[in-house]
A = this chain, B = another copy of it.
């Protein structure tokens, strides 16, 4: 293998695949990135057994890169990334000599690294499915960010550490829950799917995938779903993740058909009021606050015997004259509010011991649910 490549192009590719390099990996070859050079295409692959990322760097402009000899080799991911990041030159030469000795050089810098033969790399099937599902990449990225935070981090309930994708016809539903709260986003596909799917993808892997997406809001993500894995295709990059096996709980029965009271509030103000009301709660994991209405005033309170008490007020509108009172985790409510990023939000109240449902007229396809906490 022998090539000259524009530094920025190589760095961009290395940054993408390095999301699949784990420093904790016990298999030495997986600490490496596979370079595969053929004609005017350099394919980089990295995998940590849980996810695999492959990206193709193609020459678009005349001087992007020059292939002098095709070939393949595995290079240490950590070192090649740091070298390419720190080299000040515009172009980088990479030569493989004596089979496994890698020379990376520019005019004033030379790095000799020990490589690993490509034969030692595990064979990973990144084949695409014939039945792909296409989603606008911006909508996809937003949907993951609106739901991922509500997944569980406890490995004792593996199924809840993933986001549930439910596809039927032209509807794709994202569900997440850690059994104290729930997030649901429903999007409409441009092209209906022939098959129905009900799969669970590790939340952590989906977040890694969104991090390799750029700001382009006209691009598409393709979903290729298999029995135990899912392959995402985004531009020149493939991202494959395992699926979590098991049956995802049916959460639809938690969402009521009608509400006793609908409170409309400015989202930023409500967020800040709950944030301030939770300052004095002693235990950060159980930072319970109480919300009550008094006419068109919303009052959020908390108190701790040792530290003291808080009372915060703000103006709201509501659909009925009655007043209500309900307690919940400030952290969970704030996480849910943050997911909307809209100007206003509606708090839908069913009863003091019933789930609180958050909706926004500005984002009708998103539903967030927070369970109340009994305080007596």
Contacts and interface: CB of A to CB of B under 8 A. Distances in A.
B307 A76 contact: yes
Interface residues of A, number: 29
Interface string A78-102: 0100110011100000000000001
Nearest to A87: B276
Given A79-B280, A276-B86, A307 B109 contact: no
B280 A111 contact: yes
Interface stretch (A210-218, A224-232, A311-319): A311-319
Nearest to A108: B313
Of A86, A280, A308, A309, most buried by chain B (CB within 10 Å of CB) is: A308
A279 B114 contact: no
B79 A307 contact: yes
A314 B108 contact: yes
A109 B306 contact: no
A272 B114 contact: no
A276 B82 CA distance: 9
Contacts of A76: 307
Contacts of A280: 79, 111, 113
Contact of A272 (B88, B276, B307): B88
A166 B104 CA distance: 50
B312 A109 contact: yes
A176 to B, nearest CB: 29
29 contacts: A76-B307, A79-B279, A79-B280, A79-B307, A82-B279, A83-B276, A86-B276, A86-B279, A88-B272, A102-B308, A108-B312, A108-B314, A109-B276, A109-B310, A109-B312, A109-B313, A110-B310, A110-B312, A111-B279, A111-B280, A111-B309, A112-B308, A112-B309, A113-B280, A113-B307, A113-B308, A114-B306, A114-B307, A114-B308
Interface string A311-347: 1111000000000000000000000000000000000
Interface of A: 76, 79, 82-83, 86-88, 102, 108-114, 272, 275-276, 279-280, 306-314
Contacts of A114: 306-308
Contacts of A312: 108-110
A112 B306 CA distance: 11
Given A79-B308, A86-B275, 10 more contacts: A79-B279, A83-B276, A83-B279, A86-B272, A102-B308, A108-B312, A108-B314, A113-B280, A113-B307, A114-B307
A230 to B, nearest CB: 35
Contact of A310 (B102, B111, B275, B309): B111
A308 B83 CA distance: 12
